[in-house]
Amino acid sequence: MYNPKSLKAEEFICHEEILETLAYGEKNKDNVELIDSIIQKARLLKGLNHREASVLLACEMPDKIEEMYSIAEEIKKKLYGNRIVMFAPLYLSNYCINGCTYCPYHGKNKHITRKKLTQEEVVKEVTALQDMGHKRLALEAGEDPVHNPIEYILECIQTIYSVKHKNGAIRRVNVNIAATTVENYRRLKEAGIGTYILFQETYHKESYELLHPTGPKHDYNYHTEAMDRAMEGGIDDVGLGVLFGLERYKYEFAGLLMHAEHLEAVHGVGPHTISVPRIKHADDIDPSVFDNSIDDEVFAKLCALIRLAVPYTGMIISTRESQRVREKVIRLGVSQISGASRTSVGGYQEKERPTDTEQFDVSDQRSLDEVVRWLMEMGYIPSFCTACYREGRTGDRFMSLCKSGQIQNCCHPNALMTLKEFLMDYASEETRALGEKMIQDELANIPKDKVREVCREHLEKIERGIRDFRF
């Protein structure tokens, strides 16, 4: 049944193939010759298929695991340099008709306050986010055709892009909403979204249906095939993810990579991003009820192996994770993080962090300024860049530039220029001093002389109050 080119969910995410893959991984977890050959393939930036990566996941030899980590770090540096892209989630509405057992927004939860932002409230939320320095948002909303129809989402996107406050502007809106139709994806594309993100939650069909007992999300096939409809609707960049802790992590890992392979086989381009959330405590949700939770070491290994398997794909980690965990996995392959996130509807307007409409507890509650300074102290450039999306470098065009290495002549200077904007407009004195030194040091790392000189000129113009330069 397994066929990565099929458009049927149960054929490109084949249960029997995953079981055979897990058995193959277990059988070969001590096969040093095979493990070394797989590691060597990863080192050459050739990526790994789901079986090869599953062998490495099953391997428990400390020296081999350290080698995997070392290569993941090498790949991260080679393809992404020391840049970390910043974003924030924006919750529009927590009305939802689904019965997801792991999410406090489920329809039967009578404890949580239900709220939906008006367009005036969207403006206030976006203004608050701009006052922090954010330029990139990920929209979140429950599935409810009455309260959250596609027309509402489209109106919110239009409102977000229209808000210009002081030097602030949201330049890229990514969207994380329920699986929908080709026509609705086409409308999202026309509205100017960046990446369409949809978490699978779990690739295990039987578990999926138990975890989603009611509502339209119960339909496993419709949900799993959503990315194909999104791409048919013209969306170039899609983002995958599972909620680790719902099902056995080795099963989910194999399914996630099979989904990436399917997109590559059918559409010629894999996922733009992969997210790695773990289930967390939330209103009326106790994560200990789910007996597939993973510890920090396993989580780090998963992140490293995703980087080895799909080297050119961005990897996202949210404020679900603590500062300590984020610090470790950024080194192993994560390229995008959220900062100063609030997972409640209308949360950014409130001085104190509200908890009555939160989707999950936030582990990293630092301000954006603190997160930016922390990244720079570790040697990373916090990037607020949105240039690729705005210059049409999406889908296969982005991947070809990334694979050729040419993207470095865009991304590095764009990161420095957007960091300069942040320092000028939003940073504390301590953060600005650290950032100015970093920019001067990092200018030397721009490969082309001409690009370096133009970047230097743009930085001087930003100093004088001009904004929004990009390569």
pLDDT of residue 378: 97
Confidence (pLDDT) at 343: 87
Closest CA to 422 of 355, 349, 373: 373
User: Residue 186's pLDDT band (boundaries 50, 70, 90)?
Assistant: very high
Write down the mean pLDDT value for the chain: 94
pLDDT higher for 130 or 394?
130
Per-residue model confidence (pLDDT) at position 425: 98
**Three-state SS sequence of the chain:** CCCCCCCCHHHHCCHHHHHHHHHHHHHCCCCHHHHHHHHHHHHCCCCCCHHHHHHHHHCCCHHHHHHHHHHHHHHHHHHHCCEEEEEEEEEEECCCCCCCCCCCCCCCCCCCCCCECCHHHHHHHHHHHHHHCCCEEEEEECCCCCCCCHHHHHHHHHHHHHCEECCEECCEEEEECCCCCHHHHHHHHHCCCCCEECCCECCCHHHHHHHCCCCHHHCHHHHHCHHHHHHHCCCCCEEEEECECCCCHHHHHHHHHHHHHHHHHHHCCCCCEEECCECCCECCECHHHCCCCCCHHHHHHHHHHHHHHCCCCEEEECCCCCHHHHHHHHHHCCCEEECCCCCCCCHHHCCCCCCCCCCCCCCCCCCHHHHHHHHHHCCCEEECCCHHHHCCCCHHHHHHHHHHCCCHHHHHHHHHHHHHHHHHHCCCHHHHHHHHHHHHHHHCCCCCHHHHHHHHHHHHHHHCCCCCCCC
In order of 357, 367, 381, 392, 455, the CA distances from 439 in angstroms are 39, 21, 9, 26, 11
305-355 pLDDT per residue, tens: 999 999 999 999 988 898 999 999 999 999 999 999 998 999 998 877 555
Query: What pLDDT score does 104 carry?
Result: 87
Give the rounded percent of residues in the chain with a pLDDT score beyond 70: 95
What value does the mean pLDDT take over residues 363-382?
94
pLDDT of residue 404: 79
Give the dihedral of Cα atoms 68, 71, 76, 78; nearest 10 deg.
-170
Model pLDDT, residue 173 = 98
Taking only the tens place, the pLDDT of each residue in 193-228 is: 999 999 999 999 999 999 999 999 999 999 999 999
pLDDT of residue 107: 85
Under the banding of pLDDT at 50, 70 and 90, the label for residue 152 is: very high
**What is the C-alpha separation between 197 and 329, in angstroms, rounded?**
21
Q: What is the bridge-based pairing of β-strands 168-169 and 164-165?
A: antiparallel
Rounded Cα–Cα distance for residues 261 and 264 (Å) = 5
Q: Is 151 exposed, middle or buried (0-12, 13-18, 19+ CB in 10 A)?
A: exposed
The architecture of the domain spanning 81-365 is Alpha-Beta Barrel (3.20)
| Per-residue pLDDT, 430 | 98
Residue 38 near residue 56, CB atoms below 8 Å: yes
Alpha carbons 286 and 280: distance in angstroms, whole number:
8
Per-residue 3-state assignment (H helix, E strand, C coil) for 270-282: CCCEEECCECCCE
Whether the predicted pLDDT of 359 surpasses 90: no
- Position 373 scores a pLDDT of 98
How high is the pLDDT of residue 356? 56
Report which of residues 177 and 358 the model is more confident about: 177
Instruction: Using the predicted structure, report yes or no on whether residue 147 has a pLDDT greater than 60.
Output: yes
* Tens digits of residue pLDDT in 223-276: 999 999 999 999 999 999 999 999 999 999 999 999 999 999 999 999 999 999
Per-residue model confidence (pLDDT) at position 292: 77
Q: Which residue has the tokens 């400390």?
A: 62
- 327, 298 contact by CB (below 8 A): no
In this prediction, residue 223 carries a pLDDT of 98
Is the confidence at residue 143, as pLDDT, over 60? yes
Residue 358 pLDDT class (50, 70, 90 cuts): low
Residue 61 has pLDDT above 60, yes or no: yes
The predicted pLDDT at position 112 comes to: 87
- Radius of gyration, CA atoms only, the chain: 21
Mean pLDDT value of segment 441-451: 93
Question: What pLDDT sits at residue 365?
Answer: 85
User: What mean pLDDT is predicted for residues 95-120?
Assistant: 91
**Residue 283 pLDDT grade (very low, low, confident, very high; cuts 50, 70, 90):** low
> What confidence score (pLDDT) does residue 180 get?
98
Is the whole-model pTM more than 0.75? Answer: yes
In this structure, what are the phi and psi dihedrals at residue 178, rounded to the nearest 5 degrees? -60, 155
357 falls in which pLDDT band (50, 70, 90)? low
